[in-house]
């Protein structure tokens, strides 16, 4: 296996950037906006056969990859921002390849297309952060993932928007024989509205996907999430989990669906919502099987913090605010163990802040 040392790659890029006089005063974090630094990282990754390119560069130099591995139909002539990550077969990247998108100008519609490809036996970890610096604008994004035979990918996406921002996002993943995708999504913000569509296409034999969604719904925002796993490969399996904390007068609609069409398939849905205010929450698990040799299950609940839970923590010396925060933290952090190790502290800090009603 060809192992990529991302720390060495990043350190080399930083060294070269400083030699070129590029200032890196961002708390140690590299941003996509710093094109020169990204270019240096991209050049260093080429040593391993890894492609890390902006969408503009990908359209010029890697159009064949965009055409061959795209899962969605997107008119790229109308898209300005995005990234291509291509990991060749038998190549392992254990440290996250990170991308950050900032909506900075008022009234702008930001259009993004991302394509992540892991060839046979390749491993990759990716993290994406999206945030706004303005209170008026829109974010539109499509993310495609292609996993070849026995490939593994772990991804995390964190959204931190502001009031007045409208978000429309979709993600589609094609998962081939014995490949595995672990996807983790957190929304920690109060935009005007979010509409999200995730579709996992488990086409390969014994392919597998785990998806965790954490939504902190607050204010008067509207949230609409749809997640679908299509189990068409023999022996394929999927687990779709969602946890929603609803505060204020937010409106949340959460639909999770698993479709099984091949023998030996397995799927499980777990959608839970915790109401801390007068929010309106709808959560709908759907199971559909067209084969008699499938096993599909679901759990769903909407509830509040029970008096018994609070009383127990009161006896341990916690006041009501501390007890509520502790319960919410445990509720939201149930899937933390599935987050890639390098990103677990970051996600843990976000969950800690959200449990106190922050962000």
| Average pLDDT for runs of 10 along the chain of length 359 | 66 54 41 55 82 93 96 92 95 86 86 97 92 90 98 92 93 98 91 96 98 91 97 98 90 97 97 88 95 94 78 73 73 75 79 69
In the three-class reduction of DSSP (H, G, I as helix; E, B as strand; rest coil), residue 37 is classed as: helix
Domain ranges of the chain: 55-304, 305-359
Please give the pLDDT value at position 24: 46
pTM listed for this prediction: 0.86
Cα separation, 243 vs 334, whole angstroms: 9
Please give the pLDDT value at position 327: 75
Contact 14, 43 (CB under 8 A): no
Q: Tokens 């998806």 belong to which residue?
A: 211
Please give the pLDDT value at position 22: 43
Contact 93, 4 (CB under 8 A): yes
Q: Tokens 């392919």 belong to which residue?
A: 207
Q: Residue 225 contacts by C-beta under 8 Å, 6 or more apart in sequence? A: 194, 196, 198, 213, 215, 242, 252, 253, 254, 255
Contact 358, 325 (CB under 8 A): no
Please give the pLDDT value at position 11: 63
H/E element, 298: strand 294-303
Q: Are strands 165-175 and 137-147 parallel, antiparallel or unpaired?
A: parallel
In the three-class reduction of DSSP (H, G, I as helix; E, B as strand; rest coil), residue 259 is classed as: strand
Please give the pLDDT value at position 330: 72
């Amino acid at each position: 296996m060809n192992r990529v040392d991302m720390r060495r790659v990043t350190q080399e890029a930083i060294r070269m950037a400083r030699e070129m006089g590029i200032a890196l005063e961002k708390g140690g974090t590299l941003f996509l906006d710093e094109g020169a630094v990204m270019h240096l990282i991209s050049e260093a990754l080429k040593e391993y056969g890894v492609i890390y390119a902006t969408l503009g560069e990908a359209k010029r130099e890697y159009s064949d990859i965009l055409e061959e591995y795209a899962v969605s139909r997107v008119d790229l002539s109308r898209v300005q921002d995005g990234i291509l990550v291509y990991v060749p077969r038998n190549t392992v990247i254990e440290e996250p390849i990170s991308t950050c998108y900032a909506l900075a100008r008022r009234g702008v519609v930001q259009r993004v297309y991302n394509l992540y490809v892991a060839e046979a036996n390749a491993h990759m970890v990716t993290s994406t952060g999206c945030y706004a610096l303005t209170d008026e604008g829109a974010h539109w994004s499509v993310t495609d993932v292609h996993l070849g035979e026995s490939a593994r990918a772990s991804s995390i996406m964190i959204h931190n928007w502001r009031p007045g921002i409208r978000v429309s996002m979709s993600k589609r993943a094609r998962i081939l024989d014995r490949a595995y995708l672990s996807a983790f999504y957190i929304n920690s913000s109060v935009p005007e509205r979010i509409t999200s569509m995730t579709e996992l296409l488990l086409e390969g034999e014994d392919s597998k996907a785990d998806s965790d969604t954490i939504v902190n719904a607050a204010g008067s925002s509207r949230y609409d999430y749809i997640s679908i796993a299509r189990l068409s490969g023999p022996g394929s399996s999927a687990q779709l989990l969602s946890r929603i904390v609803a505060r204020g007068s937010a409106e949340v609609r959460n639909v999770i669906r698993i479709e099984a069409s091949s023998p030996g398939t397995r799927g499980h849905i777990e959608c839970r919502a915790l109401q801390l205010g007068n929010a309106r929450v709808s959560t709908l698990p759907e199971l559909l099987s067209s084969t008699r040799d499938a096993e599909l299950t679901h759990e769903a609940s909407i509830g509040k913090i029970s008096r018994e839970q609070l009383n127990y923590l009161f006896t341990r010396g916690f006041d009501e605010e501390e007890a509520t925060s502790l319960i919410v933290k445990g509720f939201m952090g149930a899937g933390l163990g599935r987050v890639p190790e390098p990103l677990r502290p970051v996600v843990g800090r976000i969950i800690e802040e959200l449990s106190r009603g922050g962000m």
